[in-house]
Amino acid sequence: MDKFSLDITTLRRLYLNGELTPRKLVDNLLAQHDDSDNPIWIHRLSPAELYRYADALVGKDMATLPLYGIPFAIKDNVDLADAPTTAACPEFAFLPERSASVVQRLIDAGAIPLGKTNLDQFATGLNGTRSPYGACRNAFNPDYISGGSSSGSAVAVATGQASFSLGTDTAGSGRVPAAFNNLVGHKPTLGYLSSSGLLPACRSLDTISIFALTAEDAEQVLAVAAGFDEADPYSRSVQGHGFDFGRAKAFHFGVPRAEQLQFFGNEETKRLFGEAVSRLQALGGEALEIDFAPFLEAARLLYEGPWVAERYVALKDFFDNQADQIFPPVRDIIAGASRFSAADAFAGQYRLRALKQKADRVWDTIDCLITPTAGTLYPIAAMQADPIRLNSNLGYYTNFMNLLDYAATAVPAGFQADGLPFGITLAAPAHQDAPLLHLAARMQAAAATPLGATGLPQPEHAALNPLPSGQVQIAVVGAHLSGLPLNWQLTSRKGRLIRSTCTAPCYRFYALPDGKRPGLIRMEEGGAAIKCEVWELPASEFGSFVAGIPAPLGIGKLELVDGSTVNGFICEGIGITGARDITGFGGWQAYLQQKAGN
């Protein structure tokens, strides 16, 4: 076959058309790459193992397997049964009998694991050079860092060796490598992806993350991988996200003050970030300047505060007995745990809570936040010459995210003049994963970047909805319309106007005897289209709204002029006794205007 993209949309099309089978895909993957000069992989599955996964899909119904035949890579601090987990430390290696919960979910959905990828040892670093297996090289220029700690996971996808990959993210490890290799990198809401089978770095902050060629792919993988796991005490159930600012025609986004932005002397990334902000405005976003100071102060807590001690807790026995086997910069960071006491841990928690209160105020006025993912990108030689300071620079925009319990998506945003990629990050409070990914998809399409380093174009974007919205739509025809006396009952419940439209032409409309409300009755014949508004409410607010509706009105299914149905106001037949038929006015506001004129 000719070269084809490994994005999920393309692969599913090829499978459905009969142009590709999982076994042929494995043939293709085995034949196409020799990465001996770039240590992307620590352990690759043998051809026999890969064919065994592919052959297990024979005769299976693709409709029941959302990731049928989709190949993926796994960061080597996440377990795959019968493959060694090393965390990039050969002396630490062990052979797990079971796969991590997330890995097993993906395999059960039809995905094919390819192997374990290189990383900054024990997931400590953002640059990809801290591994005894070698520094993983950037997919666009081998002289530059790949980003870390999920270095191999990102480069495997960017170079067309996997459709998606699992990384982990404590301080930015699932986002920085995405930016440096022209990928989407999604850091989910903490707890959405089980940490069972993950070797932790900071257990209270870690999450498995997703690298993908497109935002749609990342959302599909997230929908499969997410789910509550009793075996993980930090696990959370996926909640409805509320207002989908990612698909809204108008939304608000925050931008740090100009003096709080940091590009570390790189004028190219500064230019590209300005273009990304303009792109977001062109999609309907209104930019609001925010104070980034509490975010930055929270970020400093990660390595200057007691959370460093969590890294020691995760490796205590190994560190106490074999510290000399640990990569020097990693060993130095973990050794720093000794300077913190239990009192320091509590003081750090108190300070973090205060900073979160300050940072969270921005969500009263904005739906999401945009920042660079990293201010600049360094050569490997420069990073190895100054590993602590330059690594710290890479975390300027990322270190706060898990501490503050936010979700984030790194998105490709263009290329520097030297051909190196640049990415931005969209962030929002916990549970806003779907809107972030929807907005990321629009940003990715608008930037028109190729897929990773493959040079292949983006596939046609599709409006997928694999994650729950947590929203309920309701059509209103009377006093709840915009500007009318009861509209506050919607807005006070965080309701948002979706669109103004009309019902299907099968209703009669009446002014009820109290003169304050209309009633809508469906007719078999003789009906007309009535003007209405469709509003969206959080599902958690819907019950209280309905409870306040007095008889003879109620909520039922209302047919709209486009043939769709939504929840909407209807009237019991008995309610129109003594009512005035006002169908001819076409809507409640027109009737009120006529009434006022008289």
One-character DSSP codes across 256-299: E-GGG---TT-HHHHHHHHHHHHHHHHTTEEEEEE--HHHHHHH
Could you confirm whether 595 is annotated as catalytic? no
Q: Of 75, 116, 356, 531, which one is the catalytic site residue?
A: 75
In Å, the largest CA–CA distance within the chain is 91
Rounded CA separation 323/559 (Å): 68
- Classify residue 367 by burial, with Cβ atoms within 10 Å: 0-12, 13-18, 19+: buried
Q: Of 101, 131, 150, 173, which one is the catalytic site residue?
A: 173
Rounded CA separation 534/385 (Å): 59
Rounded CA separation 42/99 (Å): 17
One-character DSSP codes across 50-109: HHHHHHTTTT--GGG-TTTT-EEEEETTB-BTTB-B-TT-GGG-B--SS--HHHHHHHHT
Q: Of 149, 150, 153, 194, which one is the catalytic site residue?
A: 149
Peptide bond into 71 cis (omega under 30): no
Rounded CA separation 173/76 (Å): 13
Under a CB-based contact definition with an 8 Å cutoff, are residues 106 and 221 in contact? yes
Could you confirm whether 149 is annotated as catalytic? yes
Q: 242: phi > 0 → left, psi -120 to 50 → alpha, else beta; which?
A: left
- Classify residue 280 by burial, with Cβ atoms within 10 Å: 0-12, 13-18, 19+: buried
Gyration radius from the chain CA atoms = 27
Rounded CA separation 117/131 (Å): 11
Read off φ and ψ for residue 556, nearest 5 degrees. Answer: -140, -170
Rounded CA separation 524/519 (Å): 16
**Nearest Cα to Cα of residue 186 among 168, 160, 163, 162:** 168
Could you confirm whether 75 is annotated as catalytic? yes
Residues forming the active site: 75, 149, 173
